[in-house]
Amino acid sequence: MEPSEHPAEPDPAATPVKVDAAVLLLVAGVTAAKHPLVYVRLLIQVGHEPLPPTVGTMFGRRVLYLPGFFSYARHIVSVDGKRGLFRGVSPCVLSSLVSTVVRGKTKQVKKEEQTSLRSVLKETSHEMVVQCLSRLATHPFHVMSVRLMAQFVGREVKYSGIFSCVIWIFEEEGVSGFYVGLLPHLLGEVLLLWCRNLLAHFINSYAVDENVSVVGRDAGSQQVHFNRPYKL
**69-93 tens-digit pLDDT:** 999 999 999 999 999 999 999 999 9
What is the average pLDDT score of the chain? 81
* pLDDT tens digit sequence for 46-65: 888 888 888 888 888 888 88
Tens of pLDDT along 157-202? Answer: 899 889 999 999 999 999 999 999 999 999 999 999 999 988 988 8
The answer to whether residues 88 and 39 touch, using CB atoms and an 8 Å cutoff, is yes
Cα–Cα distance between 58 and 56 in angstroms, integer? Answer: 7
Q: How far apart are CA 65 and CA 93, in angstroms?
A: 32
Q: Three-state DSSP class for 146?
A: helix
* 104, 16 contact by CB (below 8 A): yes
**The residue count for the chain:** 232
Handedness of CA 145, 146, 152, 155 (dihedral sign): negative
With a CB cutoff of 8 Å and minimum separation 6, the contacts of 7 are: none
CA–CA dist 220, 144 (Å, integer): 25
Furthest-apart CA atoms within the chain: distance in Å: 88
Residues with Cβ within 8 Å of 150's Cβ and at least 6 positions away in sequence, in order, are: 42, 43, 46
If DSSP states are collapsed to H, E and C, what string results for 148-188? HHHHHHHCCCCCCCHHHHHHHHHHHHCHHHHHCCHHHHHHH
Q: Are 53 and 64 in contact (CB under 8 A)?
A: yes
Contacts of 18 (CB under 8 A, 6+ apart): 104
Q: What's residue 34's pLDDT?
A: 95
**Is pLDDT at 226 greater than 70 in this prediction?**
no
Q: What is the pLDDT of residue 123?
A: 87
Cα(216)–Cα(153) distance, integer angstroms = 40
Closest CA to 109 of 34, 18, 33: 18
Is 85:76 a contact under the CB 8 Å cutoff?
Answer: yes
Strand partners, 63: 56
The type of residue at 2 is E
